[in-house]
Structure 1
């Protein structure tokens, strides 16, 4: 279902390509930069626990985990790279097609062994909240596209990268007449609103100190301009 040829969309500076297992390290680095200030990230990977797992061991675990997700399963993953330097990854996105949750049941597999430097209770609790919210919204219906991840290197934000990464999934959903579902960061809400998403619920997590907007986009006949 992923495109086999690169696409330039409306911005000649970037190419959108399928993300593959060798891209795991670059995607992790991009995510680290994009969400460095996230309170959720700080809660799941607390500084007070960092010493419990050697940095190299933790990085190896993350790369292997990410590569496994890119290799198969239900995720349809993409990367944005510079047209003039394709080795430079500047953004990434991951989608789940309709029916994926009916097969998988959750965003992450249950029973995963986590490194000691992570707060497993916070991590698993947050994922359980996402599962409950999704079930509350869809009531067992799996006929929707899900944007599982979207991140852009801060150096390249507000240059059309996120919009270009959205194109593939939105086009798939519109062609099939299906809605798109996502959990946004507060910073991402304005972008998603521009592409027709509406906030249907707001999930409060981290003891009600952090809000996660739950958003849905109904199928549309035309995408807005993807620049910016």
Structure 2
């Protein structure tokens, strides 16, 4: 999907003036920091991170985002507070796409390669189980060439900008495109965003990504709803 289909927008909310636009490669550290701030108290991510050094985790996350940034179908959007240039919210989408032959070959090579050494202190068992379920359910539900996907909670609003409607502002333009094209939209829904997702027409698929952390030496557990939105569902956009 061409970037021109979603040109930058200005959004005024109370005393704030925000700009919504597509992110650039130079924004990657800011995207990582925004995600970490938004999900600082999230049990899933804090359990997987364990006691690992935050700087090492951040470096690994930046490398991951760099590897994903230019892949087919990947689109990244940001909301910037114009008063200070700070990224207030982010989202990452998979737009309908087919991987290139080079991307397919690279993915196959990655499957055969030895697993990288985990960062000391991370909960390896919980992380492996999470990734396995994530991939299995995406294989089941996501048709990458005919569907939009807001993947794995990558709708993040940092705490000081929450409850201003920035999440809705980031979702609406893409949902309008999906509606126009008659395409479904899949999401792995965070508990914090579930109410908004239901308003926008997402419904449960019947599958849940479920993790019992006590199996991996930690406490508690999480369930992530896997939701699908039919074109035109939910509140008026």
Verify same fold: TM over 0.5: yes
Question: Structure 1, residues 42-63: CA drift from partner, whole Å, max 9, x if none?
Answer: 221112xx2xxx5444433322
**Corresponding residue for residue 50 of structure 2:** 46
- 1:213 partnered with 2:225: yes
In 2, Cα distance between equivalents of 1:222 and 1:42: 32
Q: Which 5+ residue runs of structure 2 have no aligned equivalent?
A: 214-220
In 2, Cα distance between equivalents of 1:201 and 1:10: 38
In 2, Cα distance between equivalents of 1:214 and 1:57: 30
Larger strand share, 1 or 2: 2
Match among 85, 88, 92 for residue 86 of structure 2: 88
- Deviation, 1:90, is 0.5
Contact (CA 8 Å) 1:23, 1:67: kept in 2 or not? no
In 2, Cα distance between equivalents of 1:207 and 1:46: 15
Question: Structure 1, residues 7-33: CA drift from partner, whole Å, max 9, x if none?
Answer: 125757321111112112211111111
- Deviation, 1:202, is 4.2
**Corresponding residue for residue 34 of structure 2:** 30
| SS in structure 2 of the partner of residue 13 of structure 1 | strand
Contact (CA 8 Å) 1:16, 1:79: kept in 2 or not? yes
**TM-score, normalisation: structure 2:** 0.78
Aligned in 2, Cα 1:177/1:165: closer, same or farther, shift over 3 Å? same
- 1:74 partnered with 2:73: yes
Q: Which 5+ residue runs of structure 1 have no aligned equivalent?
A: none
**Corresponding residue for residue 179 of structure 1:** 184
- Deviation, 1:142, is 4.5
- 1:196 partnered with 2:197: no
- 1:128 partnered with 2:132: yes
Root mean square deviation of aligned Cα: 2.9
In 1, Cα distance between equivalents of 2:54 and 2:195: 35
**Corresponding residue for residue 165 of structure 1:** 170
